[in-house]
Amino acid sequence: MKKIGLLVLGFFISFLLSAQNYEIKLKINGVSDTVAYLGHHFGDKKYVVDTAKVDSKGNVVFSGNKTLERGIYIIVLPSRGMTYFELLIGDNRKFSLETDTTNFLQTMKVKGDKENQAFMDYQRKMVDIQNRRTDLMDIYEAAKDNPDEQKKISEEFTKLNDERISFMNDLIKKNPNTLLSKILLSMIDPVVPESPKDEEGNEIDPYFAYKYYKAHYWDNIDWTERGLLRTPIFENKLDYYFEKMVVPVADSMIPESRHLINTAYEAGDSLMFQYMASHLLNYFESSSIMGYDAVFVAIAEDWYMSGKAKWASEEYLEKIIERVNKITPTKLGNTATDLVRMQTIDDKYISLHQVDADYTVLVFYEPHCGHCKKEVPKLMEHYRDSLKDLNVKIFALYTQYDKEEWKTFVEEKNLYEDGWYNVWDGPYPHSKFRDFYDIYSTPVIYVLDREKIIIGKRIGVDNIKSLIEFVKKKSEQ
């Protein structure tokens, strides 16, 4: 039994109207005199598309003239705590289901739709395999002091997986070219062949398995099948690829995202292309991983600012362009914009690029920020304890315009040390530092090398030393 806590009404993709009717008749034993919702998956979210009354005998009919796009749909019962069960909308949109609240899946009967029957058979089989796997896991853990027994149990796990794949392949053969077959194919992992060996039997490439798996990860995806988007499967597969299969640096993420979006674009399905571009744009913009904003910029430039994202409104494009313009100067590898003639707390002048150090930590802060009150003094502790010994200097920029407030904060926190520069943009602001360094909240920390190249951004104080040591070690190799 599954539950959902929230249903979102509406979505950015409208259903096209057509003359094709749908009629899904249900009898749900154990439910009466209430309402039910018809919805569908879309990635990790669920959306309502229809509502119908349930009569006193548990009968409910969903019908209408709008097109139900292919996908995995759900029948939601608000009177049962938003529990739901799944069905499949493939080519047939007129069929009947009967089930019971004691166990929706195990009591399900299908009339008039072979594909839905196969979908229910698949779900029941997977539940059976999972239950058997859980039992095996208990036995495996109980045999933790018996390696031989655990080896035997591991072989049973392998057999269960083989049984799962065999069942799926059998359904694919029996239901060719259906949405169900395409869903099942998308869930089957590539079979990695034995790694090539040299004449002495040694592996030629220790990373062969990873490279092969990654190269064939998308083999079973039909990029013209938009029904895959109305499942929880495709988005999970996509996110797993970028989280586990791709080296987590922008230089790897950019070509990978470009390739996948272009694959969807060339396949010709507008919704699949829209989804890929939109999802990955949001994925990298919202990521907290340092440097991933460069991937956001690349996607924005390739697909949105080029005019290929036809669905994007002018207002949305303006926001994207604004973000790109803010992020671009601060991308890792760029030379940090010089902040010229910044005034120190003792009324002298210094520019960022005048700081003579192997590494410069540029921190933007303001005294009323609760996080700043903790992080800036902590930065001073790290500076005195270890960063100073690495020939690091600090360019600490007060972002506001009340000098007395600033002086009070610096004195209370004892932010005076050789190599630590307390600076501000006042009393006559001129540097436009917010535009050049994307300052919309504080504190913000950048790490620059001797040439004032940005090597770290929006980084926590506790990570500065390890980043510098990593860069030093890499440069010495």
DSSP string, 420-471: EEEEES-SS--S-HHHHHT-SSS-EEEEEETT-BEEEES--GGGHHHHHHHH
What pLDDT is stored for residue 190 in this prediction? 95
The reply to whether 260 and 357 lie within a common domain is: no
What pLDDT is stored for residue 16 in this prediction? 39
pLDDT cut 90: percent of the chain above it: 92
The reply to whether 324 and 244 lie within a common domain is: yes
What pLDDT is stored for residue 13 in this prediction? 41
Q: Are 257 and 295 in contact (CB under 8 A)?
A: yes
In whole angstroms, what is the distance from residue 150 CA to residue 137 CA? 10
Residue 20: which pLDDT band, with cuts at 50, 70 and 90?
very low
Q: Are 38 and 78 in contact (CB under 8 A)?
A: no
Would you state the torsion angle of the CA atoms of residues 174, 176, 179, 183, taken in this order, to the nearest 10 degrees?
80
> At which of 330, 359, 391 does a domain end?
330
The reply to whether 383 and 363 lie within a common domain is: yes
Sheet holding 59-66, edge to edge: 59-66, 17-29, 94-100, 109-111
In whole angstroms, what is the distance from residue 327 CA to residue 345 CA? 29
Question: What phi and psi values does residue 46 have, to the nearest 5 degrees?
Answer: -135, 140
Q: Does residue 207 lie within any of the structural domains? A: no
> At which of 80, 112, 144 does a domain end?
112
What pLDDT is stored for residue 93 in this prediction? 94
Q: Does residue 380 lie within any of the structural domains? A: yes
pLDDT > 70? residue 122: yes
What pLDDT is stored for residue 420 in this prediction? 98
pLDDT > 90? residue 4: no
The reply to whether 351 and 310 lie within a common domain is: no
pLDDT > 80? residue 462: yes
pLDDT > 70? residue 1: no
The reply to whether 135 and 165 lie within a common domain is: yes
What pLDDT is stored for residue 426 in this prediction? 84
What pLDDT is stored for residue 2 in this prediction? 53
What pLDDT is stored for residue 373 in this prediction? 96
The reply to whether 7 and 63 lie within a common domain is: yes
In whole angstroms, what is the distance from residue 243 CA to residue 250 CA? 13
Q: What is the pLDDT of residues 283-339, one digit of tens each?
A: 999 998 999 999 999 999 999 999 999 999 999 999 999 999 999 999 999 999 999
CATH number of the CATH domain containing 99: 2.60.40.1120
Q: Does residue 139 lie within any of the structural domains? A: yes
What pLDDT is stored for residue 63 in this prediction? 95
Q: What is the pLDDT of residues 176-188, one digit of tens each?
A: 999 999 999 999 9
What pLDDT is stored for residue 120 in this prediction? 98
> At which of 158, 186, 214 does a domain end?
186
The reply to whether 472 and 356 lie within a common domain is: yes
pLDDT > 80? residue 477: no
Residue 182 corresponds to which tokens in the numbers above? 């395409």
Q: Provide the phi-psi class of 43: left if phi over 0, else alpha when psi is between -120 and 50, else beta.
A: left
Q: Does residue 470 lie within any of the structural domains? A: yes
Q: Does residue 192 lie within any of the structural domains? A: no
Q: Show the domain range for 169.
A: 119-186
CA neighbor of 293 nearest in space, from 335, 325, 318 = 325
CA neighbor of 4 nearest in space, from 59, 35, 48 = 48
What pLDDT is stored for residue 297 in this prediction? 97
At 398, which amino acid appears?
Answer: Y
Number of independent structural domains in the chain: 4
CA neighbor of 163 nearest in space, from 125, 106, 193, 137 = 125
Mean pLDDT of all residues belonging to the chain: 94
Q: Record the pTM.
A: 0.88
In whole angstroms, what is the distance from residue 453 CA to residue 456 CA? 9
Q: What is the pLDDT of residues 124-169, one digit of tens each?
A: 999 999 999 999 999 999 999 999 999 999 999 999 999 999 999 9
Q: Which residues does 448 contact at the CB level (< 8 Å), separation at least 6?
A: 336, 359, 360, 361, 362, 454, 455
Q: Please, is 315 exposed, middle or buried when counting C-beta atoms within 10 Å of its C-beta (0-12, 13-18, 19+)?
A: exposed
